[in-house]
Every structure is written in C-alpha cells, then in structure tokens.
Amino acid sequence: MNEETKANRPISLQAFMRRFPDDVACADYLAAKRWPEGFRCPACPSEKGWKLTHRAAIWECAACHRQTSVTAGTIMHRTHLPLLTWFIASHLVATHSNGISALQLREQASIGSYKTAWFLLHRLRRAMVDPDRGGLVGVIETDETTIPFRTKDEPVAGGQGRSPIGKLVVVGGVEVHDDGSPGRIRLRAIPDFKRTTLHDFLTSVTLPGSLISTDGNIGYAGVPDRTVSAQVIGKMPAHVFMPWIHRVFSNLKRFGLGVYHGFRRAYLQAYLDEYCFRWNRRKWRHRSFDTLLGIGLRVGSLPYRTLVSKA
C-alpha cells in the first residue's frame, strides 16, 4: 500500500469511538463546528453563553437566557436519537466505499427500526450536497443514460428509442483534467431529453467558458457561454470517445443494484447526490465525515412528512 493510499484511509471504528465516546464529546464537536469563534445567540447579539451541565447539546444565552440546541436547524433538528448514534451512522456512511443500505445501517449502528435508519440515511444524503459548491470547469464530458424502471401503470410495449417511458433518465458531466484523469462529477435525474432540459443542466453545473465534450446529440448545441465539441460516434462504442462519463454511469448502475437492489423514481436524485459525494471525495475519504457533518449543520432540516410526500 503506497503512502497516498494510507493517508486517504479513514480512521477505524475503534479510533472513532475513542474520539467520540459519548454524547458529550459529540455535542462539543458540533458546538465547535457551529460556532468556531465562540457561542453566538440566534435570538440576540450576545456572544456569551454557557453549556448546560445536565443537557450536553443545549446552550443558554447569558443575555436573553434563550436556550439553543447545537442541532437546531440542522439535519439533526428535533432528533430523538442519541448524538452518538448520529455520529456512528455518519462515520459508517461517509467512510464506506461502496455505500450502505438502511438495513445494514440499522444493524451496524444498533438503530431500533428500519424506518428510523431509512429516514436517517435520507437526512445524511441531504448533507451530501454543499449549497456553496462551485461549478465544473474546463473540459466536461457530458452524456445521458437510462436505467430500466417500469411502473405497473406504464405500458409494457412503451419506452422505445428516446422515450422516457419505463426508464429513469439521468444526465451527467465529469471534469477531465489536462493529464486525462477525471475530476468532479455532477448527475441529475431528468424527465426527458429535450434541449431545454439538457441546457438547464449544463448552465447550472458548469462555469461559463467550459468546453462541453459530447456526442452528436443536437440537444447540446448552442449552450449559452459554453463551447460544445460534438462528435458523431456512429458505430464506435461511446465509451471509447467519452470514457469517463461512461465509467461513471457504469459504476452508478452497479452502485444502485449492489447496495439498494435498484433505484426508485421518487428518491432518485438523492441517490445520485450520494454517488456524486462518494466519487468527488474518493481521494479524501479521511475528510468525508467532517465534510458531511459540516454541510449538515448548514443545509437545514428535512421533516419526515416532507420526505415521504415525494413517494
């Protein structure tokens, strides 16, 4: 094992438990991440407060005496789970190279029910998209792929050619560095292959001036402020011309089948976001836990009713 691989390895579960032995240690970590320059009251300008000795996650303002939880307004908002359970789950999710299902998480983190583990996983996936992340830049390989998925209401004979019937449609882009290696990726679930849909994806995930490398799909032509390099592939296998985006798609499909036994339309974007998070941090897995909780403190809560309303 080379030095780079060793440096990228996340800490073991035993070492993690030594770092976070109880809820107090977890609450102290969250407080330091939330208020790196010291306590700030959310209700008044006061910068003085103290942690309650009998409730590790609660701080009280010295001026207005408002009590604030370190989890308020975060992905852990109003959670009934111990903070230590959240931290163990976050460590397992962030450091597991192939992903982890709700059933596996329930068993490994000693969570009481599948429903609770499933809901926790979706809240962690919410923290896998940094609202301040930058766009892809430089040369961007772009293409679409489909994943078979037919509901009971869709015709068996439908979905031929470019029709989205009976399919999950995904568009993706991957940065290609000057040395030919892949960089960051973005994936999005889309309803169709229309020009407006493809243009909206590219203008939202890439920076102006980027070079879009794609196939002969005319839907990509004329993307504003980007240069499109299209090549009609013909009989040549697509992965020869665009190797990285097709490797992303291939690994994505194995990820879906191997971990989740298939994607579901209602939550497809959440699974795509998780895959992007893992790919983009594949060389920095040792930082993934801190990144996950750091984003989780900023993206807000996800009520259960809001989540299941998508189904």
Pair type for strands 211-214 and 227-230? parallel
**How would residue 239 be classed by pLDDT, with cut points 50, 70 and 90?**
low
Q: Is residue 293 part of a domain?
A: no
Task: Check whether residue 259 and residue 192 sit in a common domain.
Answer: yes
Task: Check whether residue 201 and residue 148 sit in a common domain.
Answer: yes
Task: Check whether residue 109 and residue 215 sit in a common domain.
Answer: no
Task: Check whether residue 303 and residue 241 sit in a common domain.
Answer: no
pLDDT in tens, 64-95: 999 999 999 999 999 999 999 999 999 999 98
Q: Is residue 134 part of a domain?
A: no
Task: Check whether residue 106 and residue 166 sit in a common domain.
Answer: no
- Number of domains composing the chain: 2
- Whether the per-residue pLDDT at 237 is higher than 80: the answer is no
pLDDT in tens, 115-139: 999 999 999 999 999 999 999 999 9
Please write down the long-range contacts of 238-246, taking CB distance under 8 Å and 24 or more positions apart: 238/143, 241/215, 242/141, 242/143, 242/213, 242/214, 242/215, 243/141, 244/141, 244/174, 244/176, 244/182, 245/141, 245/142, 245/143, 245/172, 245/173, 245/174, 246/143
Residue spans of alpha helices (H) in 261-311: 268-280, 288-296, 304-308
- Whether the per-residue pLDDT at 154 is higher than 70: the answer is no
Domain that holds residue 38: 3-126+299-308
Q: Is residue 91 part of a domain?
A: yes
What is the residue whose two structure tokens read 């240069």?
227
Q: What is the Cα–Cα distance from 75 to 88, expressed in whole angstroms? A: 15
Q: What is the pTM of this model?
A: 0.90
Task: Check whether residue 148 and residue 244 sit in a common domain.
Answer: yes
Task: Check whether residue 114 and residue 7 sit in a common domain.
Answer: yes
Task: Check whether residue 172 and residue 88 sit in a common domain.
Answer: no
Task: Check whether residue 180 and residue 155 sit in a common domain.
Answer: yes
**How would residue 189 be classed by pLDDT, with cut points 50, 70 and 90?**
very high
What is the residue whose two structure tokens read 């089948």?
257
**Structural contact between residues 188 and 205, judged by C-beta atoms closer than 8 angstroms:** yes
Q: What is the mean pLDDT of residues 149-160?
A: 61
Q: From residue 189, give the alpha-carbon distance in Å to each of 146, 171, 299.
A: 10, 7, 21
Q: Is residue 205 part of a domain?
A: yes
Q: Provide the pLDDT for residue 8.
A: 66
Task: Check whether residue 144 and residue 122 sit in a common domain.
Answer: no
- The CATH number given to whatever domain includes residue 208 is 3.30.420.10
Task: Check whether residue 120 and residue 147 sit in a common domain.
Answer: no
Q: Is residue 292 part of a domain?
A: no
Q: Is residue 288 part of a domain?
A: no
